[in-house]
Amino acid sequence: MRQRISAEPTDPDKPFAHLEPLLAVLRRDGNDFSNHDGFYLAKDGWRADFKHRLNLELLRREFDIPASIELSEDHDSVLCKNTWCEIKGCIFPG
């Protein structure tokens, strides 16, 4: 049974809280954070960067993801349109 991801954060102090289970699955799959350990506040909002392409098919298999969270192969990203928090792949340390 797939884990349901909420369309809204579960913690008002962490607008990315509902996306954290996705990070754990991506790391378990062998991907690793690029620059920070999880989400960080960038000039364009909260984001989490991974070194390698995101395994979006794995996320689709593992989770029941609401329509407000967009998984994009073209942008190698997961974007929550409710909070504008983003998970990106292929971000090299720098």
Instruction: Provide the CA 55 distance to its chain's centre, in angstroms.
Output: 11
Question: What is the per-residue pLDDT for 70?
Answer: 98
Mean pLDDT of 16-38: 96
d(CA 53, CA 51): 7
Helix, strand, coil shares of the chain as percentages rounded to 5?
20, 30, 50
Query: Can you give the pTM of this predicted structure?
Result: 0.94
Q: Predicted confidence band at 92 (pLDDT cuts at 50, 70, 90)? A: confident
d(CA 36, CA 51): 11
Q: Predicted confidence band at 1 (pLDDT cuts at 50, 70, 90)? A: confident
Would the pLDDT of 94 be above 70? no
Query: Mean pLDDT across the chain, nearest whole number?
Result: 95
